[in-house]
Amino acid sequence: MGDVHPFRGKADKPAKPGCPICGKRSDTDHRPFCSARCKQVDLGRWLGGDYRLPTEEVAEPEEVIAALGAGEDQAPDR
Ligand SMILES: [Zn+2]
């Protein structure tokens, strides 16, 4: 838990090559990756390339129906 160090100053040099996916400098929040995206890419490789982003949400059917209904209501005649 000694992540925050007041004398960290010049210890900022990356000791490792960085992100194993794209090679960029790794981010402290996502190391050894540079971003959540590369983290997902790596995870996807582990899972065989077939994976979904956890942030992806499927719309509720009711919302879709309501949206379609509202759209039809306001749609001009064709
Ligand atoms: Zn990366």
Ligand 1 centroid from CA 23, angstroms: 6
Residue 21 CA, chain-centre distance (Å), reads 14
Domain ranges for the chain, please list them.
Answer: 16-78
pLDDT at 4: 62
Give me 78's structure tokens.
């064709």
pLDDT at 48: 74
Residue 17 CA, chain-centre distance (Å), reads 21
Ligand 1 centroid from CA 43, angstroms: 12
- Supply the CATH classification number for the domain 16-78: 3.30.50
pLDDT at 49: 53
Cβ-contact 26, 16 below 8 angstroms: yes
Q: Which stretches of the chain drop beneath a pLDDT of 50?
A: 14
